Structure 1
Amino acid sequence: MSVLELHGVHKSFGDNHVLKGVDLEVDQHEVVVVIGASGSGKSTLMRTINLIEQVDDGQILLSGDDITDPRVNADRARARIGVVFQHFNLFPHMRVIDNVTLAARRVHGMPADAAVAKGTELLGKFGLGDKVSDYPDRLSGGQQQRVAIVRAILTDPELLLLDEITSALDPMLVGEVLDLVRELGDAGSTILMATHEMSFARSVADRVVFMHQGRILESGTPDQIFGAPREQATQEFLARVMHR
């Protein structure tokens, strides 16, 4: 069953044609990792799926529902998707537990006691049980990003979008965030993730998608993409990033 389907998605900003007819499917419980050079369209792809940016042409289906239909309530569609960006976007004046539960209570209508109980359980599960009452400035970058991920999964979203979630982190903190994503994938979450972490993509993804100049140029298993890429642009990209 496809949780996400993109059919011929185009997006331009003025004369800059960023997405050029993107077709993509993500099945239930699948972890799909998008790789590609900066400027290839990865982040714009994520922003169109979450309806932050409107597509110029094409369709985006979420569990079969066309969420690009103008008649669709965009806020309700977004509420079905969990999103984590490279910047944590935590409210500095709110405790960790309040950051984690705010959207669940305000947007999803989850009772406060249920939200706090679930949020506390998840924070404990992912090594943040002693940070429940702390404020974000008391946390490391890796801890803040893990809080942002807990916030995104609290309401059991149909799809989890992770957009370069380690790029703003100190290299020493990257591993703890990626370990959490690995756990989520192993637990059956449906994940679409854009990343520059090639070794992680190779070890965790069910499928790897290579974006180049606004198009999906190649898609396959990690072994195929990293071991025997078909396209010259894929070969050149991997040669650059794997030998840094």
Structure 2
Amino acid sequence: MSGHGQEQGHHQDQPVLDVRGVHKRFGDQHVLRGIDLTVRRHEAVVLIGASGSGKSTLLKTINLLEQVDDGRIVLAGDDITDPRVNVDAVRARIGVVFQHFNLFPHLSVIENVTLAMRKVFGSSRAEADRVGLDLLSRIGLGDKANEYPDRLSGGQQQRVAIVRAIATNPELLLLDEITSALDPQLVGEVLDLVSELKATGSTIVMATHEMSFARRVADRVVYLKDGVIIESGTPEQIFEHPTRPETREFLARLGDPFGR
């Protein structure tokens, strides 16, 4: 899954995502306070932090669901916070999965998966169906292609949502607490799919409470608190040798800080 960025001849060393000095306020609440974050191609960056730390808001600003108040966000060399930017064109380059599956209930599984391929990228139905069925088969849901979402378990719905997000081969995949609405026994199947995407080279920014997963899959773990990046490093650095007291305190409060 190479992503469109490379095909367009972007320089290999150029970051897929460059967030610079981003601030976001909601009224009196200063939710993001000068976030700097660079994500390289094929890198999996996992955001951790308590609820309200700014993780979801950061992901929403990257997908232009929220406008930044200050700073800029650059996607593969293009400043997407420029007010003249075509928002739909930017979103077409980014795959997004939220904690609630957000599948269209009136569309079958295959129709959900192929909608963007057909409507945004102009694929024929036959070609979109071929790609969609291949992806569904790879995650063990090929036999559910013509079912409607309400016939699937939560874990199956979330895997369909992920396949829908990757079907257009996005340059960047944003995953926002994608397991938090699932029954515990379904979490594993969704995280296994994310592990596979990581292994095949997807560029991922993911907010999660699943520390053991963060430890296993992340190239880099970023700890946010009160809209500020407190500490960032490899999973080993963050979970075994955190340098900041705030990070140590956050991990200690989780009870099983080392994700073992």
- Aligned counterpart, 1:168: 181
Matches within 5 A, 1:65-80: 65-80=78-93
Matches within 5 A, 1:45-60: 45-60=58-73
- How far did residue 92 of structure 1 move? 1.1
- How far did residue 242 of structure 1 move? 3.5
2:63 maps to 1:63: no
Contact 1:20 1:215 (C-alpha < 8 Å) held by counterparts:
yes
Cα separation, 2, equivalents of 1:109 and 1:71: 24
Q: Letter of the 2:113 partner, please give it.
A: V
- Aligned with 1:96 (options 109, 116, 132): 109
Q: Letter of the 1:45 partner, please give it.
A: L
Deviations 1:164-205 (A, max 9, x none): 000000001000000000000000000000000000000110
- Aligned with 2:128 (options 100, 104, 115): 115
- Aligned counterpart, 1:19: 32
Cα separation, 2, equivalents of 1:80 and 1:110: 15
Cα separation, 2, equivalents of 1:14 and 1:107: 34
Q: Please, what TM-score do these two structures have when normalized by structure 2?
A: 0.93
4+ runs deviating over 6 angstroms: none
Cα separation, 2, equivalents of 1:110 and 1:30: 28
Calculate percent identity across the aligned residue pairs.
Answer: 70
Q: Letter of the 1:3 partner, please give it.
A: V
Matches within 5 A, 1:146-161: 146-161=159-174
Q: Letter of the 1:129 partner, please give it.
A: G
Structure 2 segments unaligned to the other structure (5+ residues):
1-12
Cα separation, 2, equivalents of 1:212 and 1:125: 37
- How far did residue 243 of structure 1 move? 3.5
Cα separation, 1, equivalents of 2:122 and 2:82: 25
- Aligned with 1:185 (options 198, 211, 217): 198
Helix, strand or coil: the match of 1:242? coil
- How far did residue 90 of structure 1 move? 0.7
- How far did residue 94 of structure 1 move? 1.1
Q: Please, what TM-score do these two structures have when normalized by structure 1?
A: 0.99
